[in-house]
Homo-oligomer: A and B are copies of this chain.
Amino acid sequence: AVNGSRLWQSLMDMAQIGATPKGGVCRLALTDLDKQSRDLFARWCEEAGCTISVDKMGNIFARRAGRDDSLPPIIMGSHLDSQPTGGKYDGVYGVLAGLEVVRSLNDMGYVTEAPVEVAVWTNEEGSRFAPAMVASGVFAGVFDLEYGLSRADLDGKTMGEELARIGYAGDQEVGGRKVGAYFEAHIEQGPILEAEGKTIGVVTDCQGQRWYEITFTGQEAHAGPTPMTRRKDALLGAARVVDAVNRIGLKYGPAACATVGLMQIHPNSRNVIPGRVFFTVDFRHPKDEILAAMDAELRAAVEEIASGIGLESDFKQIWYYAPIQFDADCVKAVRNGVERTGYSFRDIISGAGHDACYLSKVAPTGMVFIPCIDGISHNEIEETTPEWSTAGCEVLLHAVLERANA
C-alpha cells in the first residue's frame, strides 16, 4: 500500500543535510541546515501537490485537500531538527512517513473525506532551545506565542530572531484551529520492541517530564595555594548533584530516568577552582506522583550539597508536563491498522517526549512506534531497518484513513 523504498530513499536524502562522519546528523533547530531540510521538505510536498503554510512559530503544514475540505484535517507529523550528534530517523521518520502516506494516496488516486496534512514542528529536540516541543506546545496553547519566540540558545539568540533569519517566521496564527486527529510515527528510541521481536509499538501513554536549570556559585581561586578547607568549589557541588540525580533515577527505577546532560563550567581553567557551574537535570516517569517524589528528593539533595560546600544555588524547574494518555479512539485506529497489516506489535509507553504529547491537548492523538537497533537514539549511530520503516508507514496510512473517512 505504501512505497517503502521511496520512503527509505527520502530518509537517506534528507540525512545528507548536516550529515556527520559517524553516519548521523547535526541539524540544530533554526540553523542554516535546519532551513535546508525545511526547504527540501517543502519542495517534496509541493511536488506531491500539497499547499504549504507556515505559522508564526515556524511550524510547516503541507495540506492535501479532502473531498470535504471544510472538515478538520487529519495531521501527521514530527520534526526535522536534531541533536548535536543525532540520528537520521528521530523526527524525520514521522515527517517523511507522513509525506509517503500523501504520495501513496496520490499513487492510488485516493481522495480522503477530510483533508490530510503533514506537519513539521519547530525545535522539538529542545537541545538548542529549551524546552523541547516548544512550538507544538504553542500550537496546543500550552505556551503563549511570546514565550515560544523568546526562547534563547546559550548564546542568547532567540527563536524569534532565528526564525526570521532563516525565513521561516510564517504569517499564520499558531494553532487555534480544529484538528480532526493527529498521528505521529517515530522510532521507539528505546530497547523494548527490538528485544521482544515486535515490529510495531502501539503507543498508549507518554511518561511525564521535569526539566531543571541549576547554577551553583562559589568562589574562583587558585588551585595551588588555596587550602582545601577554604574552597567553595562549584564543580564539586555540581558533581555531587550528578551522583545524586543518578541515585534518584535508580531508586525510582526501573521506569524512572534521571539525567544531567549539559554542564558549563566557569572559568573552565585547569588551575582555577571553578567559581560557577550551570547544569541541567532531566527527570522522567510514567507516574506523576513518582515524578513529584523525585522532584522533592532533588530539591533536598541540591540544598544539602550546596550548603555543605557553602555555594549559592539558583534552582529553577523550567519545564514540566504530567504523564499523558493518548486518545482511546486514535490508539484503537493504530491497533486496527496493525491488525489489518498483520505485523507483530505490543502496547508501549513512550519514554521520550513527542510533539504528539502537546497535540493531545487539542486533538485526538495517537502514535506509531517502530524499533531502532539496540534502542539507541540521540546518537549518530541510531539505526532502524527499511522493513520496520515500511511497516510503520503502512500502519500510519491505515490509521489516518480510518480517521479521515470517519
Contacts and interface: CB of A to CB of B under 8 A. Distances in A.
Interface of A: 83-85, 125-127, 130, 132, 188-191, 207, 209, 211, 219-230, 233, 235-236, 238-240, 242-243, 246, 249-250, 253-254, 256-275, 280, 282, 284, 350-353, 375-380
A223 B268 contact: no
A344 to B, nearest CB: 20
A188 to B, nearest CB: 7
A238 B240 CA distance: 11
Contacts of A260: 235-236, 239, 274
Contacts of A249: 228
Contacts of A246: 228, 233, 236
A226 B190 contact: yes
Given A267-B84, A379-B220, A250 B228 contact: yes
A266 to B, nearest CB: 8
Contact of A280 (B207, B270, B280, B377): B270
Contacts of A272: 83-85, 127, 261, 378-379
Contacts of A265: 261-263
User: A220, A224, A262 — which one has the most chain B CB atoms within 10 A of its CB?
Assistant: A224
Contacts of A226: 189-191, 257, 351, 375
A24 to B, nearest CB: 10
List 3 A-B pairs, minimum CB-CB distance, nearest first: A225-B351, A190-B225, A239-B242
Given A271-B282, A379-B275, A228 B85 contact: no
A202 to B, nearest CB: 16
